[in-house]
């Protein structure tokens, strides 16, 4: 009889472990939910109102990582949140050293997320975005650019991040990276669902003089681009 009871108890162990696994997943998702909500809000309004909001989001996702340490979504989110630190309204970055510390603190979890899920294009693009805002235009930047395109050339979100980085850092780019930036812009403007994203990036950065001076005529036949370029009296070199 004792053996029978013990056998039944042993059979319950996998069920208990499964229930604990499911519970930890659900709990981590609940804890990280506020951080995802903050990120969506910041993206919609283009900035972070207070440092306290940013700190709260960071704390939430770090706790989620402790609860569910093998989920690549959470270190990816943690890395992206460090990008938003540059847009906190009541606590501006005060030095280059501080900026680099923030960037490097965000790069580490992004690299960890990529190790866990190496084929996810947005993780690669987020890594490039953080290096871009930290002015880290180096060999890794170029490698990450290529990997982002390799995995996400169809994804408008990835293309948008690359285009913005390319236009911001255009003066520092070598001819290869300049060519890749042009390729991204041409690819985006050839698809209706991504064309608006491309023109919004150019509008936001005030990059029409650069774009109109560099791109070839067939590309400039698209309506909004053609109008914007026609309004420029003299494109800058």
CA distance 28 to 4: 37
Does a structural domain hold residue 126? no
Q: What is the pLDDT of residue 233?
A: 55
CA distance 62 to 83: 16
Judgement on whether residues 112 and 197 belong to the same structural domain of the protein:
no
Where among 65, 91, 118 does a domain terminate?
A: 118
CA distance 86 to 116: 27
Q: What is the pLDDT of residue 213?
A: 79
Judgement on whether residues 113 and 19 belong to the same structural domain of the protein:
yes
Judgement on whether residues 77 and 172 belong to the same structural domain of the protein:
no
Q: What is the pLDDT of residue 60?
A: 95
Judgement on whether residues 180 and 99 belong to the same structural domain of the protein:
no
For the domain that residue 71 is a member of, what is the CATH number?
Answer: 1.25.40
Does a structural domain hold residue 143? no
How many distinct structural domains can be found in the chain?
2
Is residue 121 a contact partner of residue 156, using CB atoms and an 8 Å limit?
Answer: no
Q: What is the pLDDT along the chain (237 residues), one digit of tens a residue?
A: 455 555 555 555 665 555 655 655 666 677 788 999 999 999 999 999 999 999 999 999 999 999 999 999 999 999 999 999 999 999 999 999 999 999 999 999 999 999 999 999 999 999 999 999 999 999 999 999 999 999 998 899 999 999 999 999 999 999 999 999 988 988 888 887 788 899 899 989 988 888 887 765 545 545 666 677 777 654 444
Q: What is the pLDDT of residue 219?
A: 53
Judgement on whether residues 89 and 7 belong to the same structural domain of the protein:
yes
Q: What angle do CA 28, 32, 37 make, to 5 degrees?
A: 150
Does a structural domain hold residue 31? yes
Is residue 39 a contact partner of residue 57, using CB atoms and an 8 Å limit?
Answer: yes
Q: What is the pLDDT of residue 235?
A: 45
Q: What angle do CA 156, 158, 162 make, to 5 degrees?
A: 110
Which structural domain, as residue segments, surrounds residue 5?
1-118
Judgement on whether residues 95 and 196 belong to the same structural domain of the protein:
no
Judgement on whether residues 79 and 163 belong to the same structural domain of the protein:
no
Judgement on whether residues 113 and 164 belong to the same structural domain of the protein:
no
């Amino acid at each position: 009889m004792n053996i029978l009871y013990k056998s039944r108890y042993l059979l319950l162990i996998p069920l208990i472990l499964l229930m604990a696994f499911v519970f930890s997943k659900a709990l981590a998702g609940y804890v990280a939910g506020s951080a995802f909500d903050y990120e969506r809000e910041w993206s919609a309004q283009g900035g972070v109102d207070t440092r306290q909001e940013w700190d709260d989001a960071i704390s939430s996702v770090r706790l989620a990582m402790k609860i569910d340490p093998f989920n690549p979504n959470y270190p990816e989110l943690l890395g992206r949140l460090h990008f938003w630190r540059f847009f906190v309204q009541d606590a501006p970055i005060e030095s280059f050293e501080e900026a680099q510390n923030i960037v490097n603190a965000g790069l580490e979890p992004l690299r960890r997320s990529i190790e866990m899920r190496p084929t996810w294009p947005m993780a690669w693009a987020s890594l490039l975005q953080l290096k871009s805002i930290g002015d880290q235009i180096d060999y890794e930047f170029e490698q990450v650019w290529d990997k982002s395109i390799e995995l996400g050339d169809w994804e408008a979100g990835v293309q948008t991040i690359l285009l913005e980085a390319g236009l911001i850092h255009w003066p520092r780019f070598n001819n290869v990276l300049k060519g890749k930036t042009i390729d991204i812009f041409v690819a985006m403007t050839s698809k209706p669902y991504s064309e608006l994203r491309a023109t919004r990036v150019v509008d936001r950065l005030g990059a029409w003089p650069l774009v109109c001076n560099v791109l070839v005529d067939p590309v400039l036949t698209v309506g909004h681009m053609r109008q914007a370029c026609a309004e420029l009296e003299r494109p800058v070199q």
